């Protein structure tokens, strides 16, 4: 019976060691997944911020491009909401000259982390809670002195379960803040 107890103790130690090893392996795997996801998310943020900063450097509206004086009717002289987007001859991002030229722009950008699909929407917004201290900017169809840019980015490697995960970065620009 003494021989069997040593075998049982050895088997029990092997089982305990196996459980500890599996848990350690699971934690290492989870940490690796979190680290990789973080790298992809950092890439998404960099790409989105690059587009937003680039758009912010442009004129507020086509009517203000190279203008020496402000438009006579603000915001009535700004582009109609249905006409936001690139103008004739502005097919490349490098040709955009005003903030709303990015509306409808899409591209797939390849980085060291893979392909990222980017789409941009620009639209007019106004504060629907103007009487309170809480800002609630909503999309509107009329011209205002505020435009919002939403940059949506996704990648096949960024997933929430089986579904692709979309990241949206946004910025609200005020004509008077230029």
Domain that holds residue 138: 2-177
Which of these, 149, 150, 155, 151, lies nearest to 117 by C-alpha position?
155
- Tally of domains in the chain: 1
Q: Tell me which H or E stretch contains 174.
A: strand 167-174
Taking the C-alpha atoms of residue 54 and residue 120, their distance in angstroms, rounded to an integer, is: 13
Inform me whether the pLDDT recorded for 127 exceeds 90: no
Percentage of the chain with pLDDT > 90?
A: 66
pLDDT of 46 reads: 95
Inform me whether the pLDDT recorded for 2 exceeds 80: no
Please, what is the Cα angle at 80 between 78 and 81, to 5 degrees?
Answer: 115
pLDDT confidence tier of residue 133, bands split at 50, 70 and 90: confident
Q: How far is CA 155 from CA 51, 52, 126, in A?
A: 17, 19, 31
pLDDT of 132 reads: 77
Lowest mean pLDDT among 35-39, 74-78, 99-103, 118-122: 35-39
**Does the pTM exceed 0.75?**
yes
CA quadruple 168, 121, 142, 97: dihedral sign: positive
The residues pairing with 154 across neighbouring beta strands, listed in sequence order, are: 117
Inform me whether the pLDDT recorded for 57 exceeds 60: yes
Inform me whether the pLDDT recorded for 3 exceeds 80: no
pLDDT of 167 reads: 94
85 phi and psi angles, rounded to 5 deg: 140, -175
For 85-88, which contacts have Cβ atoms below 8 Å and span 24 or more sequence positions?
85/122, 87/62
């Amino acid at each position: 019976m003494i021989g069997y107890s040593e075998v049982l103790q050895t088997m029990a130690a092997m089982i305990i060691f196996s459980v500890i090893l599996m848990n350690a392996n699971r934690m290492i795997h989870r940490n690796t997944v979190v680290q990789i996801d973080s790298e992809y998310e950092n890439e998404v943020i960099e790409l989105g911020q690059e587009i937003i900063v680039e758009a912010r450097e442009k004129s507020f509206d086509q009517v203000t491009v190279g203008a020496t004086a402000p438009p006579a009717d603000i915001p009535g002289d700004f582009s109609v909401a249905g006409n936001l987007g690139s103008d004739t001859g502005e097919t490349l991002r490098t040709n955009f000259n005003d903030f709303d030229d990015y509306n409808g722009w899409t591209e797939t950008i390849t980085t060291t982390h893979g392909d990222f699909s980017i789409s941009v929407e620009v639209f007019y917004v106004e504060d629907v809670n103007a009487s309170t201290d809480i800002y609630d900017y909503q999309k509107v169809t009329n011209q205002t002195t505020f435009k919002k840019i939403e940059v949506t980015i996704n990648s096949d490697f960024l997933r929430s379960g089986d579904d692709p995960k979309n990241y949206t970065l946004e910025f609200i620009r005020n004509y008077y803040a230029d």
